[in-house]
Structure 1
Amino acid sequence: MKLTIKQWIQVVVSLAVAIWIFWFLYKDVKMESLLEALQQASFFWIGMSIGISIIGFGVRAWRWKLLIDADLEKQLPTLRAFYGLMIGYLVNMLVPRAGEVARCGVLKKTEKLQLSKLLGTVILERSVDLLFMLLVIFLAFVLEREIFVGLAQELVSMEAIKLAFQEYLPLLISAVVLVVIVVYWVVNRYRDHGLVQKFHHFMRELVGGLKSVQRMKNRKGFWLASVGIWIIYFLMMYFIAKAIPSTANLSPSSVLMVMVMGSIGMIAPVQGGIGTFHALVAFILMTYGLTEEQGKIFAVIVHSSQVLIVLVAGVISLLAVAKISVITKPQAGHLRNN
């Protein structure tokens, strides 16, 4: 994947911020404490966590395949979707959010599919993930209301949010309306221009990808997979909690709160949630009586297990895709014209 100078600057700055946050968090944590925690940890439960995580990545790949298959005459092998997905996660560790485009690029190369339509399926996937994340946050609020409200009052000023909303909402609406008017004028003024026609085609394919959920043959499987992904994410973290003595007694609802904070940390625009994930997970664990050091050690073990999976599976996927591209000529299904 070729990057421009501007993109390289963004990568370097983002990585520097992530490294600084991580260093700031862990500069006072002794390596002896981490090694001692690993010695005391149950590798059975850590292995269970890694195993269920791998299954989770497989479920994600299968769910993505269901969306892609909606426009294919011949079904896409789930393994090909898995290769693209893991390469995408690997790219995200270098360039935040670039992995979503990268995984589409993999299938464009190996299966000769439309990039714009693939991007539509990814946007749809992420939208569904966001919906389920909001549902999980609501569930955490119901189960851990006292902790949740206390954190909200400590971290967020509702009065400040209200004032900012009142002040900037008119400006935001005006900006959106202005952009829509300008785009509409440009598109109509230069409708016969090659670039505008390419833009029209790209948007049609993108919208087609977004609508693929309506054409899926296995909608039930898609929604069950979406639920299963979050259950697996919870089990991954719960198993790690069971493995470490300091967190072994946490209740399932407490682990759910930790998962919510970790999910928020992963949204931050830094490589693989480095630093932000660790900070938020350690912070919430301190509210459950763990020391700051214990919280940070738990966070680094959880995050490291995921990074290990992405590195190993990502590299294997890269090698597999290279072999597919060089040795074979993929016979991809053709997209139907809608």
Structure 2
Amino acid sequence: MSKKIKQGVQVTVSLLIALIIFFYLYRDIEKDTILEALGETDWFLLLSSVSVGILGYWLRAWRWKILIETGENYRIKTGNVFWALMFGYLINLVIPRAGELARCAAVNRSYPIKTGKIFGTVVLERTIDMVFMLLLIALAFLLQGSVFLEIFGLLVSFPALTAFMNSYFTLGMVILAGGIGILYLAYRKYRHSGWIGKIRQFLRQFVSGLETVFQMKKQAGFWTVSVLIWVIYFLMMYWIALAILSTSLLSASSVLMVLVMGSIGMVAPVQGGIGTFHAMVAFILLFYGISEEQGKIFAMIVHASQMLTIMVLGGLSLLFLAGKKESNLQP
């Protein structure tokens, strides 16, 4: 099976899973119910959520630009990085996680910077986001501890988890040690081959990308923007919650819990978190007295507003990148 066919099968299977989950969730909801909810929606707040979301994408592009230009002699334009970022998000809607590589390639088209370094900055950026997400989960636990523990108790069985660890921990360690041993022996045998040299070169570039977090000059701006990005994520969901009649009475801390659960749903390896995001958001809203039907409609509106924004800006990014195709920017 060729690589393209294999990728096509993977994309198709992932999309089918997402659509099956989505269909299963919404099969019993009448179209008139959705239209009624949209008719009662405060569109000013909804559009405000979309607008602040676009600002969040721009701030994310600025933050990424700071990492990319560290150690380089090139003046990086935030606009170029913004369109590369939106192109990556658009690709993620088709092939989960492929957008990270796509946006690296888009930046490399505009600036002669090593791909390994650019990819290192992406991994660094995602790692920082993961840390902030964990901090967000911790904050949600402090503010909504009882709900958090109730959900955790429903999803996780401590006796089963303990039994699993006791049964498979030793086997897992043996497999891990064996894998490390095989990789070491393979390296010793092929360390002088050309492809090993290319891997080592890429890894050096990759590490240089990770090191930019210590070398960048705008430390205060970088970390301030990192906080603002997550504040914007919260405002996007909070304003939509206020805009929809069924969720308008939710407290800020309740919306924070919904944001946490929705973020977990977006991590699933399906296009754009389709289905998984909706399921997680509708599930958590049950704990706040929102019916399953209204929870699903809320999730649909939140998700649709984000996806439409990405599709519009991602489509514009294709036009921008097409204009850059024939000419590589010089320092």
Per the normalisation by structure 2, the TM-score is 0.97
> 1:28 corresponds to which letter in structure 2?
D
Q: How does 1:160-309 map to 2 (within 5 A)?
A: 160-309=160-309
> In angstroms, what is the RMSD of aligned CA positions?
1.3
Residue aligning to 2:328: 329
Shift of 1:3: 6.2
Shift of 1:33: 0.8
> Equivalent residue of 1:4, what SS?
helix
Shift of 1:320: 0.3
> 1:107 corresponds to which letter in structure 2?
V
- For the residues of structure 1 that align with 2:296 and 2:309, how far apart are their CA atoms? 20
CA, structure 1 residues 3+320, in 2 after alignment: closer, same or farther (shift >3 Å)? farther
- For the residues of structure 2 that align with 1:275 and 1:226, how far apart are their CA atoms? 28
Structure 1 residue runs of 4+, over 6 Å off? none
> 1:251 corresponds to which letter in structure 2?
S
Q: Deviations over 1:39-82 (max 9, x none)?
A: 11001100110011000111111111111111211221111111
> 1:26 corresponds to which letter in structure 2?
Y
> 2:58 corresponds to which letter in structure 1?
G
Q: Relative to structure 2, which stretch is displaced further, 167-176 or 90-99?
A: 167-176
- For the residues of structure 1 that align with 2:301 and 2:249, how far apart are their CA atoms? 17
Residue aligning to 2:136: 136
Shift of 1:149: 0.8
Q: Deviations over 1:131-189 (max 9, x none)?
A: 11111011101100111111111111122222222333323332232222222222222
> 1:205 corresponds to which letter in structure 2?
Q
Shift of 1:37: 0.7
Q: Does structure 1 conserve the Cα–Cα contact (< 8 Å) formed by 2:109 and 2:324?
A: no
Q: Does structure 1 conserve the Cα–Cα contact (< 8 Å) formed by 2:66 and 2:216?
A: yes
- For the residues of structure 1 that align with 2:165 and 2:76, how far apart are their CA atoms? 45
- For the residues of structure 1 that align with 2:262 and 2:105, how far apart are their CA atoms? 28
Residue aligning to 2:22: 22
Q: How does 1:26-41 map to 2 (within 5 A)?
A: 26-41=26-41
> Equivalent residue of 1:108, what SS?
helix
Q: Deviations over 1:1-21 (max 9, x none)?
A: x96211111100000000000
Residue aligning to 1:336: none
> Equivalent residue of 1:113, what SS?
coil
Q: How does 1:67-216 map to 2 (within 5 A)?
A: 67-216=67-216
- For the residues of structure 2 that align with 1:302 and 1:77, how far apart are their CA atoms? 31
- For the residues of structure 2 that align with 1:226 and 1:173, how far apart are their CA atoms? 36
Q: Does structure 1 conserve the Cα–Cα contact (< 8 Å) formed by 2:109 and 2:328?
A: no
The percent of aligned pairs where both chains have the same amino acid is: 48
- For the residues of structure 2 that align with 1:239 and 1:266, how far apart are their CA atoms? 19
Gaps of 5+ in 2: none
- For the residues of structure 1 that align with 2:276 and 2:24, how far apart are their CA atoms? 11
Gaps of 5+ in 1: 334-338
Q: Relative to structure 2, which stretch is displaced further, 183-192 or 30-39?
A: 183-192
- For the residues of structure 1 that align with 2:168 and 2:99, how far apart are their CA atoms? 32
Residue aligning to 2:317: 317
Per the normalisation by structure 1, the TM-score is 0.95
> Equivalent residue of 1:214, what SS?
helix
Q: Relative to structure 2, which stretch is displaced further, 287-296 or 187-196?
A: 187-196
